[in-house]
A and B are shown apart, each in its own frame.
Chain A
Amino acid sequence: MSHLPQTIHEARRLLRSGAMTSVELTEAYLERIVQMEPDIHAYLHVAEEQALTQARMADERMAAGQDTPLLGVPLGVKDIITVQGMPATAGSRILEGFMPPYEATVSRKLREQGAVFLGKLNTDEFAMGWSTENSAYGVTHNPWALDRVPGGSSGGPAAAVAAGEAVAALGTDTGGSVRQPASWTNTVGLRPTYGRVSRYGVIAFASSLDQVGPMTRDVRDSALLLEAIAGHDPKDSTTFPDAVPHYADMLDGGVRGMRFGLPREYFTEGMHPGVEKATREAVARLCDLGAIVEEVSLPHTDYGMPVYYLIATAEASANLSRYDGVRYGYSAQAPDLQENYKLTRGRGFGPEVKRRILLGTYALSAGYYDAYYLKAQKVRTLIRADFDAVFEKYDALVAPVAPIPPYRIGEAPTDPVSLYLLDVLTLPSALAGVPALALPAGFVEEDGAKLPVGVQFIGRPLDEATLFRIGRAFEQTNEVA
């Protein structure tokens, strides 16, 4: 299996040279999936036949002289993003057996550019979680330590990419769901600027926060994949009309003279010492590369958690009201309509989803709207203002991604507040709608296991190009280390 290319650009080089056809590459990946899945369980659905059909079409396009960045490259897709002809469960029983009658704009774009879809990847139910433990279809195992979670909610994509079961994958990030699993699996995860990538055909969790993001082995692939999926979509009125840059042509140039802010609020109480050390070392590496790093303050950081959990759950309670047992998905088949709604939803949703629907319904309910939901929206304005203020002086922020390394399956904190605090370092940037790139930054040793630790770079709105340039410079220091 050592001949399997691990990146999009390497795969394209092999395909272009004729050393391998897309069918051969896809077959090799399908074989790898069969071999790895008993240990990893990243996939909820493997689309063998469709993948080989797409691969054959890609080979024909190559034979006809086409040469585009994703042509013939096998990718995986988080099972909250619809793909024509493949089931979409969002990790929920309530969507068991659901076959979407259309597909997401991001899937259509990748299909048109000749990518091959290997299948659908595990997620916490409706992307609500940190570990894939909230998936109704079983937990995904971290390829670096099989008894540990891969992170979440995009744990399936992260594990598949880390285990070499897909060249790259698409995840979604609502409050950190691309970046945290990337940091726990030694992979690269980008949360694009809110509005950079279409959400059409992506099963909605919190509409003012959800973004699709690339999950890859390196920064060049992240740039290639973002360019492929980004851009205005008439079917999503929240997409920016701005032209999409050729990100992969803008990776070089380094970070000499760039100014970085290190937010002091991101070194939280209870942070694992190995995470803090990896972040400090990342700062030292940036300085060695000629960057200027200064401590900054984002004073409303600590409010990110309550603001997020009020706004995201309020939006989720509205978005998930569509699961009514009438139009699609699971139905309890109770004889009375009201009873059927309640039984369908009570049985179809898992515990974390129900907890969030209840919290969001409460935050929006008469008498509490001003105190919770409206208040959270106002504090959200202040959180965004924190970022706007630091970006007047700094090109980007450098920060840890998750306060702890991946935990053992079944050993998550049991009280909801401690659990929700696991997201505390990725929530403020999500609320502000700014882009952030998570990259491998080293490992911590725990009980003999080598556990990945990531670092994130947070940038100005629509300035993913700067994040990729920083990321490329930074990942080269990993290659040396």
Chain B
Amino acid sequence: MPKLTPEEVQHIAELAKLDLSEDEIERYASDLSAILDYAQQLQDVDTDHIHPTASVLPLRNVMRPDEARPGLEPEDALANAPESDKGYFKVHAVLEGSQ
């Protein structure tokens, strides 16, 4: 029976870059445990010689000519940015202030 601890939820939240409150962590630990417990029934299915399905499509390796085509204009691409500067997205320093 998988039981997720609040510490494990905190770890997943870190991977997913989600800031969660203590209450949220408690609630998600209980929710995810219940869902994963239910998902345990998959272990009863014999899948020894079964290929995984990533896509149901019969199409494989769809190719197109490698030709240059017009894309978004820079101003359109930046139009929704919270902050931009001189034609670039603006972010805070990556190398300082983070581990």
- B residues less than 8 Å from A417 (CB atoms): 34-35, 38
Q: In the complex the two chains form, is A358's CB within 8 Å of B39's CB?
A: no
Q: Is A292 on the interface with B (CB-CB < 8 A)? A: no
Q: Is A257 an interface residue (CB 8 A)?
A: no
Task: Say which residue of A329, A335, A342, A377 sits within 8 Å of B17 (CB atoms).
Answer: A342
A63 part of interface (Cβ distance < 8 Å): no
Contact with B along A329-359 (1 / 0, CB 8 A): 1110101111011110111010100110111
B residues in contact with A436, CB < 8 Å: none
> How many Å lie between the Cα of A169 and that of B52 in the bound state?
35
User: Does B15 sit within 8 A of A, measured CB to CB?
Assistant: yes
Chain B residues in 8 Å Cβ range of A340: 92
- Give per-residue flags for B1-38: 1 if the beta carbon is below 8 A from chain A beta carbons, else 0: 00010000100110111111000100010011011101
Contact in complex: A303, B45 (CB < 8 Å): yes
Interface string of B58-99 (1 = CB under 8 A from A): 010010100000001000110111110000010111100111
Instruction: Contacts A101-B77, A374-B52 given; indicate if A358 touches B82 (C-beta within 8 A).
Output: no
Does chain B have a CB within 8 A of A183? no
List 7 other contacts, CB 8 Å, given A337-B94, A346-B18, A379-B47.
Answer: A240-B57, A306-B42, A317-B16, A342-B19, A345-B17, A359-B36, A361-B16
List B contacts of A101 (CB < 8 A). Answer: 72, 76-77, 79-80
Q: Which residues of A contact B (CB under 8 A)?
A: 97-99, 101-102, 194-195, 208, 234, 237-238, 240, 300, 302-303, 305-307, 309-310, 317, 321, 324-331, 333, 335-338, 340-343, 345-347, 349, 351, 354-355, 357-359, 361-362, 365, 371-372, 374-382, 384, 415-417, 420, 431-433
Residues on the A chain within 8 Å of B72, using CB:
101-102
Name the one of B12, B31, B39 contacting A361, with C-beta atoms under 8 angstroms. B12
- CB-CB < 8 A to A337: which residues of B? 91-94, 97-98
Given A238-B55, A309-B39, A379-B45, A415 contacting B34 (CB threshold 8 A): yes
- Could you jot down 22 A-B contacts, CB within 8 Å? A98-B80, A101-B80, A234-B64, A305-B38, A306-B38, A306-B39, A306-B41, A330-B82, A342-B18, A342-B19, A345-B19, A358-B12, A358-B18, A359-B32, A362-B4, A362-B12, A365-B15, A379-B45, A384-B53, A416-B35, A417-B34, A432-B56
Residue of A nearest to B62 (CB): A237
Assess A372 versus B20: contact at CB under 8 Å? Given A101-B80, A377-B53, A381-B51: no
Q: A327 to B77, alpha carbons, bound, how many Å?
A: 8
- Which residues of chain A come closer than 8 Å to B42, judged between CB atoms? 303, 306-307, 372, 375-376, 379
**CB proximity of B38 to chain A, nearest CB, Å:** 5
- Closest CB of chain B to A175's CB: distance in Å? 14
Q: Tell me the bound Cα distance from A333 to B18 in angstroms.
A: 15
Q: Is the CB of B28 within 8 A of A378?
A: no
Residue in B closest to A385 when the chains form the complex, CB atoms: B50
Q: How far, in Å, is A8 (CB) from chain B's closest CB?
A: 29
Residue of A nearest to B8 (CB): A362
**Given A208-B56, A238-B55, A333-B82, A349 and B89 touching (CB < 8 A)?**
no
Contacts of B97 in A (CB 8 A): 335-338
Q: For the complex formed, measure the closest distance between the CB of B57 and the CB atoms of chain A, giving whole angstroms.
A: 5
Interface pair B81/A328, CB less than 8 Å apart: yes
CB atoms of B16 and A378 under 8 A apart: no
Q: Which of A195, A208, A420 is within 8 Å of B54, CB to CB?
A: A208
Inter-chain CA distance A234–B69, complex, in Å, is 12
**CB of B17, distance to nearest CB on chain A (Å):** 4
Cβ–Cβ < 8 Å partners of B36 in chain A: 359, 362, 372
